[in-house]
Amino acid sequence: MKIAGRGLAERGPVRLFGILNLTPDSFFDGGRFINPEAALARALVLEAEGADALDVGGESTRPGSGSVSEKEEKERVLPVLKSLRGRISIPVSIDTSKAGVAEAALECGAAIINDVSALSADPRMASLAASSGVPVVLMHMRGTPGTMQKEPVYGDVVAEVLEYLLSRAAFAEKNGVAAEDIILDPGIGFGKTVEHNLALIRGFAPAVAGRFPVLIGHSRKNFIGRLLDNAPPEERLCGSLGAAAAASLSGAAFLRVHDVRATRELLKVLSAIRKEEPCPSSN
């Protein structure tokens, strides 16, 4: 499938996944879009601001969070997915590690699977991804959201995350997922220290070296707060834009962001400076 008119691996300006969390407890937008009407309105705003896809989730994976039941997750996301049908023209990604949720979401119009467990949490997910033929985001996580921030240690974080994700990509392909449908994501904030996150934003896409497109999900995360004198999530926009610029320059194909308009503007200027976009007539 194509996102923003291009195949996943085609080069061009960075594409944006706008985040829409339908949860009471997500670390930034939790509780704001539980009401399906508020969620639909937010989806329309994210599309109008220039999102290339919408990433809809019904379970927070912030550090320390617990899991929700499949029934609850479906109750959060399915009504909103149904209401988005025919109302937005960008593809919708379902952010879940449960095959039952993904399957129901695909039936309701979702067209991308974003699995933070890289197809490891649910034995049915790989075959579902293969049979549905949609793009799949494979993300690296150390441990579970409940435990992942307890002193994560790596020798060489970029090499270890890459090795893991290439093995998950091989697993996906063995189970019938087409190579051109695979996106790799180093899992910023999922079992990583500040230094690990910085190393991955700098070095992961160059290490992948074009074998798969790379997605970076840095938006308003804790490492940005830590770099900014413990700024809370509401005060991490400028920091997030700095990380978006660095991720883009390092070769990421996709960014997963809360702030679509601001990130789009940042990327526009960056692309013009790098001569990737035509410059408006001068004066």
Q: Which residues bind ligand HH2 (CB under 6 A)?
A: 19, 21, 23, 26-28, 57, 60-62, 95, 114, 116, 137, 139, 185, 187-188, 215, 217, 256
CB of 116 to ligand HH2, least distance (A): 5
Kindly state the smallest distance separating residue 44's Cβ from ligand HH2, in Å.
Answer: 19
Residue 283 C-beta-side C-alpha neighbours within 13 Å: 2
| CB 256 to ligand HH2: min, Å | 5
Which residue, 163, 142, 162, 155, is CA-closest to 204? 162
Q: Which of 108, 16, 11, 14 is nearest to 58 (CA)?
A: 108
Mapping DSSP onto H, E and C, the string for 75-98 reads HHHHHHHHHHCCCCCCCEEEECCC
Residue spans of alpha helices (H) in the chain: 36-48, 70-84, 99-107, 125-132, 157-174, 194-208, 222-227, 237-250, 260-273
181 or 185, CB closer to ligand HH2? 185
Least distance between ligand HH2 and beta carbon 156 (Å): 20
Tell me which residue has tokens 């969620």: 39
Looking at the Cβ atoms of 88 and 188, the one nearer to ligand HH2 is 188
* Minimum distance from residue 187 beta carbon to ligand HH2 (Å): 6
- 3-state SS class at 272: helix
Q: Longest Cα pair distance anywhere in the chain, in angstroms?
A: 59
Q: With respect to ligand HH2, which residue has the nearer C-beta, 261 or 268?
A: 261
Closest to ligand HH2 by CB, 31 vs 269, is 31
User: In whole angstroms, what is the distance from residue 198 CA to residue 246 CA?
Assistant: 10
Answer whether 217's CB lies under 8 Å from 188's CB: yes
Q: Which is nearer to ligand HH2, 68 or 280 (CB)?
A: 68
Is residue 45 classed as helix, strand or coil in its secondary structure? helix
The string of DSSP codes covering 101-136 is HHHHHHHTT--EEEETTTT-S-TTHHHHHHHHT--E
The structure tokens listed for 52 are 């290339």
**Which residue minimizes CB distance to ligand HH2?**
217
- Residue 231 Cβ vs ligand HH2, minimum distance, rounded to whole Å: 16
Nearer to ligand HH2, 114 or 132 (CB): 114
Active-site residues, by number, are: 221, 256
Other Cβ atoms less than 10 A from the Cβ of 21: the count is 29
